Amino acid sequence: MKKTLISALTTALVVGAASTTFAASNPFSDVPADHWAYDAVAQLAADGVIEGYGDTTFQGDKNITRYEMAQMVAKAMAKTDVSAADKAMIDKLAAEFADELNNLGVRVSNLEKHADMVKWNGQARYTYSSRRVQDANKDDTDRSNKDELLFRLEPTAEVNDHWSVKARLDAKTYMDSDDGSSKDDDEVTLARAYAQGDYKNFQVQLGKFGFYTPEQGLVWDNELSGAKLTFGNDLKASLYAGRIDLSDSKAVGTYKTTDTGYDKNDTANLQGITLQYDNAAKSKLSGGAAYYHVNSDAFKTLEDQSVNGLNDKSGKMVGVSYANDDNEDTADIWSVNAAYKFDRSSKLSAAYAQNTKADNLDKSWQAFYNYKGAQAANKGSWGAYAGYRYLGTFASIFGTQDAQTVGAKGWEIGADYTPFKNVVASAKYFSGEGIESGRDADTLWGRLDFKF
């Protein structure tokens, strides 16, 4: 490690010095007033975070030990007038230098001894979507609009040095009519509730938690009730086991109101494993592979029904079934993904998935180019992306559906922007068609998110 002027500036950011007006005098003879780091170094010295040498020099290029860096972190930890973002940076540095800080008599586990044991995060967001799809005869277009208002609370309760309990409470209302009623019922749900244990190179989650796997929303973007174990650092392996509610999945959810359709008793059992490599400091390339085994009688009920089915001119349902064998009740899905970061601003990513038990709509893939990205804490930050998505209904059982829906293929573009701190605006547009039906489809999607 080098005690360069860059590292000094990093510490300046941590303690909030870089966001203040500097008026302190610089005590170091080897940091001239016209140096680009002069203000930061002077302020840090005034705050007592850094100290020079007895000869009045700073010696910014001199190698320092982890112990010396820990001393700087300890002084940053002692500051109380820091923002939430700066506090998070301090915690990361404290975790990195935990052993050295303990030797200094600083208990990392007691960083928040004066704070409440329960933290509350949340958001209020408005989402609008307008979907246009050709009708069955392809001579007209059906249009459907949706206005959703969501209020979300996410409490975190610290249990001890390693364990915490987390939850997510969602309250939704749909603004299609003045009284709030619509085809979608207003609802308040406990979306997540789980315990999480964090250890060095190991994490465990038990309960109902977020299920968003490394394919970037290609296969799963929902919740899983069960357990997740994650091992490793740069190369991470995750094991999943639990139950997953399929009622909102495009794969079976369309038929839950029919006599032979989805039954709540058909909630699926799932086991899975993911292996993912990501080390931005050493490699611009990241990627991995995954396998998921899903079992449910709900798959068998699809043999005599139509996925995303259409009524032809005679009124008969047409479409595709899950498998040619009407006794098939499993889904075996494997996937691969890769990403390449050109620099800090741009990234190219792709993913592919296949369900080897399905005979129809059994493949999904997507490719995206991302440039930057809006950060809620950074006013004025923004990002944009463009990509192509092919979401086979039985491979993307719970794929991400914002602008695009499962069962469709086409191009998608989007952008996000932070006009004010903790306020993020997003917009997406999809243009494509149904994979089996060939119907043209496009969607305009927008969201305004207030985070707290």
Q: What is the pLDDT of residues 157-175, one digit of tens each?
A: 989 889 999 999 999 998 7
Q: What is the pLDDT of residues 387-433, one digit of tens each?
A: 999 999 999 999 998 999 899 999 999 999 999 999 999 999 999 99
Question: Which of 325, 311, 335, 401 has the alpha carbon at shortest distance from 360?
Answer: 325
Q: What is the pLDDT of residues 234-293, one digit of tens each?
A: 999 999 999 998 878 877 754 444 444 555 556 899 999 999 999 888 899 999 999 999
Burial grade of 391 (CB within 10 A; 0-12, 13-18, 19 or more): buried
How far is CA 208 from each of CA 38, 161, 171, 191, 243, rounded to the nearest angstrom? 50, 22, 17, 8, 9
What is the distance between the alpha carbons of residues 340 and 400, in angstroms, rounded to a whole number? 21
pTM: 0.71
Round the average pLDDT of the chain to a whole number and report it.
80
> What is the helix (H) or strand (E) element at residue 448, kind and residue range?
strand 440-451
Burial 242-262 (b: 16+ CB within 10 A, else e): bebbbeebbbbbbbbeeeebb
Domain ranges (residues) in the chain: 5-110, 118-451
Q: What is the pLDDT averaged over residues 128-154? A: 87
Q: Which CATH class is domain 118-451?
A: mainly beta
What is the distance between the alpha carbons of residues 161 and 285, in angstroms, rounded to a whole number? 34
pLDDT at res. 313: 37
Burial 265-293 (b: 16+ CB within 10 A, else e): ebbbebebebebbbeeeeeeebbbbbebb
How far is CA 445 from each of CA 280, 404, 420, 448, rounded to the nearest angstrom? 32, 9, 21, 11
Q: What is the pLDDT of residues 64-88, one digit of tens each?
A: 667 777 777 777 777 666 666 667 7
Q: Is pLDDT above 90 for 197?
A: yes
Q: Is pLDDT above 70 for 56?
A: no
Q: What is the pLDDT of residues 341-367, one digit of tens each?
A: 999 899 999 999 999 999 889 999 999
Q: Is pLDDT above 90 for 222?
A: yes
